[in-house]
Structure 1
């Protein structure tokens, strides 16, 4: 991994070092076997998230008074990058968990935060973020999952699609329709995992990220207490879009870590593999390719750190988050593809993780808003 990281505090440096140690001792020895096992049957790394929770790495950016660490976004995102360089499914899971807490942290009442956040940030609970639907992905305003108001709360009917942690989460941060007023008719609810009527579809069979269990979440007259509503009725769209800005930075950091892991593998292989009596790293064409990949990874890292510093300074960062997500995920796709090429035939086998990196990279260009949507966000903001 690169020796240089920008750390605002000594505590931040210690958290990065702790993450690297956990990656080396806990994640690296089990990632390949776990991903293979999950490819043919559901396998969720519950114990890994428990380890990260015990280390405080599931609560980095959240308020200290509720059990978080009050770390700036740039430290939290570098932790995500470190995790992704070893185990992408886990890094995505950490980002999803942070996304699931965002509405409560920023839009909940003091009473809600005091009652719910300590458990969410303790490491004993894992969250899911229920926004997408089968016919409402990028078009959030097309959402049809509906919550009908009753005297003591809401009754939710509908389904959510492509939900990470579904069936394993302890709570579901869920966006529902409470009126027919388009995007202004959405509301955010925190649904407990043991709610009656809550069920799940079969795990999706995906190209990669096998340990990131993804399912439909089904709501069959699920009753949710009124005090589990986050923000006001009709505020859901604004909450969801603000949360997605932070989520896009999480995916940008994870994609950067994935690209870094692929580049590290390619460099090691190029040093060890000999052809024509010398390491292939000594051939200028390959050395130039590796240099280009290093420049691409470094550039991707710079985009998410720039956006993170704007976020830490409480300045607008929507456009910069979209840029970071676009650049970092396109970089991950390029670097993982070229890493397979550097390894040649070996890169196409499961003897090396290069093929897994490539499979994992593709979805980063799709979730948290496709890269076509990122271009739309960037263009609209530029021309506003």
Structure 2
């Protein structure tokens, strides 16, 4: 069923950004609320600047993003900062700081995965502020490495508020990252997140906020503690299975880590069934699935069982996979009253299936036409250009 918008309150989200698709004689959009899909700046304008920095978020806003998305982890002194990984070696220049050499950890367990590096819980905010952010993708600009600092969640809130002017509303889309891990460290994320949203005047259903997590227990806890914002269940997998067109499931990307610790044998794939979606609806407003849950990718194999190199570049990867007929996930989620925000859309050719011919806009257009309610994108401008093309197609 397509539930009442008054019941969900979703029509109030990103109100300024979503306005304007209701008239003009265009065809009805297939989104849950009938509004144009959101463009969510994944870690900011991370295709252009080191991710999850104030500069990356500001650039995403300048490019026209509807929402800015930070992953939240904790410092030693309990401050929420925006980093995708607790391991600072992945996205900062901490390795080049001799004063922190003795804090390097070897085989440190993060959600069942052994990692070596420097971890945020060993650093105060003041110490982390001495580090410089670096690009995490070698194909992206490297000249800004070390120039920009790690940003706090409060600084992101302040930025979104300061840039919400002239009728434009910038939403924030925070994720509790590795919440069980942080709880085990004695640095739980959830209560601090709720407190900061409440202090900002944003702990309400129509606030420009979406709170997301891969761990259901984190979302359920926040809801039980009075979180009123829109809540999003993220849905992951390990990798593409090019033989079947499905997905593979291997730890730590087989199931939410809180399920692993609880002995729950279900996989992320169980979340996208009608029963799984109905369960999600009891505590969340939407889902954030990995893209191939919506558009599967499959390879072509020769008589010897070897995947064909369709683009002739001498290697076999995603660029040699063909898109398959879309699944029913969007329709199923909408029937359950859940919006759908798939991740992550990127411009690099190596991240695009064969059918898109190296054109990232072709991928966006397919998903927009299928009725997604928003997209997580590293390249805000590309996502917006494709959305504009889609809206023109629909008569707006």
What TM-score do you get using the length of structure 2 for normalisation?
0.25
| Larger helix share, 1 or 2 | 1
Structure of higher RCO (CA pairs closer than 8 Å, 6+ residues apart): 2
What TM-score do you get using the length of structure 1 for normalisation?
0.25
